Chain A
C-alpha cells in the first residue's frame, strides 16, 4: 500500500543488475553495493517513474562484533507522487559510507548521529561532529559491544547518601562510579567544533536552560548585528539512549520508555511503537481497540496542540493565552487520567490493543468536552488570528519552502504549513483512520503564520475525528474484546503484561502522525526474539528541528522564538 511494490522494485533489479530486492511484512528493501550507493539513490530521487524525493531516515544496523561486514547503512525514502516508501541498504565496509548530504541536506544530522552512535565515518560530510554526545566522549554507544549500563569509569561520590554515613549499599544508594560526564572543557571543545568558522565578532549562546527553548536545547547564533549569519544547535542534554533500551528490554516493556520521548503526546508515541510491533507480528487487532486508539490519539493531539498554542503565545508576549489553553488542557488530562491512570506517561496502548476497556462514563466526558471545544478554539482565534501584533510577528517570518520539506524530511504541521499535504494518517490508514473523515489543512506560503493556522485547523479536524470515534464506539458492545486474542497460544503469544512474548524475525518500518511530525519505528529482528536486534526511532521533532538552522539565516534574532515555537520540537523526542 504505502510501500513500493515488489514488481516495481524488481524492475530496478533488471535495469541495474546489482540491486537485491527483499520483502518482509510488506516492507520492501533494496540492497546495493557501496560503490553504487550514491548513483542508485540519485536515480531513485530524480527518475520520474520512482521520484523518491523525500528523505525520511538514515541509520545503521550493527550486526554484531563477529560479523563481517559488520555495519549496514539503511536509508528510508518516500515518493510524494506515488505515496510510496522504500528502504535502501548497503554495507558500510571499512566503517565508512559516502555522504548523502549532496542529495538531501537533511541527511546532515542523521549522519552525524550515525557517527556519534556507531562510529561510521561519512566521506565528504562537511563537518562530521557528534550529534548527541559531547565531542571528547570516547565511545560509540549503540554498538553491540557497548554495555547497556554504560562504562562506569568516573568517580562521582557526590550523589551519595551522606545523612546516614556513607555506608548504604546497593538499592539504597548510588554507585560511587558513574559513566562519563562532560566537564566544562569538554563542552567548550564541543561548542567550538560545532561552529568551526566564525564570520562575525559575536556568537550568541541561547540555552541550554532558557525558558524560550522549551527544554534543554543549546543554540549557537553567529550574529551580524541583529541578523543571524550562521546557526547550529547542540542537543543531547536529554539523551537517555532510548534506542539502546529498546534493544535491551522486552517488547511490551518498551512502551513506558516511549512515553518518555515526547512526553507532551505520550499516547502518540506509544501508538507509533505498537503499530510497528504489530506489523512485525503480523496481527490484526480488534475493532474496538482500533477505535479507542484512534480516539485517544486525537485527544492527545489536541492536548499537545493546546500546550503548543499556550507556550507559543506566551513566548510572543500574549500571556493570557497560556491560562486559557491550560484550562481546556486540564480537562483533557483529567479524562486521560481517568481512562489510563496517568496524566503524562500514559502507557495505555499495548501491542495487540489497549490494556483495559474504557471506564464507565468515559464517552460521556469526551462528548461533553468536544461539544465545548470548538467555541474555545474560536475564542483563541479571536484573541490571536487577526491581532496586528500577532500578524506582524508571524507573517512572512522564517519561510520554509516545499523544497526544504523534501530535502530535510520535514513532517507534521511543519510540512503541511509549507503546502505539502503529507499525513501518515492518510497514507497508511492505520487503525481506524481509514474509516474516519477528516481534511488535511495545508498552508500557502510556509511562514510561521501558516504553521499556526494549520495547527489551529488540525485541532478542529481532530475534534471531528473524535466525534466519529465516539459515535462508532457507542454502537459497540461492552463485551467486544479490546485486546488481541491469540488463536493458538503455542504459536503466537501476545500478553498484556508482555511476559514471554516473542516477535518474529524480519524488518519493518511503521510510523504514526504525531503532533510533532512523523514518528517512525524501524525494527530489525534477526531471529525470533524477546528483544529487538535494532530499534531505530525516526523522530519527527529531530528532523523538523534541523531546518531551524536554515530557516533562521538572515532573520533577526527575535524571530528565533517564533520559529522554534512554530516548529514545536520536544527535547525528549529530539534527543531520545
Chain B
C-alpha cells in the first residue's frame, strides 16, 4: 500500500522568533507551492535543555514534543534549523531512545531535492557573488551537508569560498548557547570571522543555513562600520531569487 506523503515543516523557535527569517521560509514554501503542515512555531525541539546539561529534564520534555509531532501523522519533516535537525535526527533516537516515524531533512537537502526534480525555478544572477558559511550543526557536528547548499546556490549565483571552509570552516560563534551566555563574545567571534573570511574576498553577501549563524553573523556585520555586509539564511535568500 502506498502511503501518501504528508510533509511537516518545523520552523523552530529561533526562526519563528525572527520575523525576517520566518517570512523568508514561508515565502520560499509558498513560492515553491509546497503543501505542508506548519509546526514548531511555538514549540522548541528541546536543544537548549541538552546544551545546558539538563539531561533528565530534556528526556521528559522531548517525549512530549515527540508525541505532538507523531500525532500530526506526517511522513516527512523539513527544518531549516541545524539544532532542531540534529535533535530529531540524532539526539531523539540515540540519546533519548525515541524513534520518530518520519524522515527528517534539513532545508539544504530539501531545496537540493526540489531543484533536482525541477520543482523550483531560480533566477539566474551569475553576476552576484555570495560567500557560503558552513554552519557547524549540519557540518562537522552533523552529517556533513556541505555540497547540498552549494549546489543550490551555484544554480543561481556565484559561490565564493572562504579560505577555510566545509569541515575546516571557522565557526561564527553563534552556537552552544554562547549567544545567551556571553552575547558580546559571540558577536565578536562573528565580526572576526567576517574580517578574516569575507572582507578579503571582496564579497558583501553571506548566505548560510542556520538561524543562529544568520543572526549572529548579522550582528557581527553590524559592528563593521566601513562596509555593509548582508547576511541571509538560505530559505530567505532563495525566496528572493524566485519568481512570484
> Does A pair with B?
no
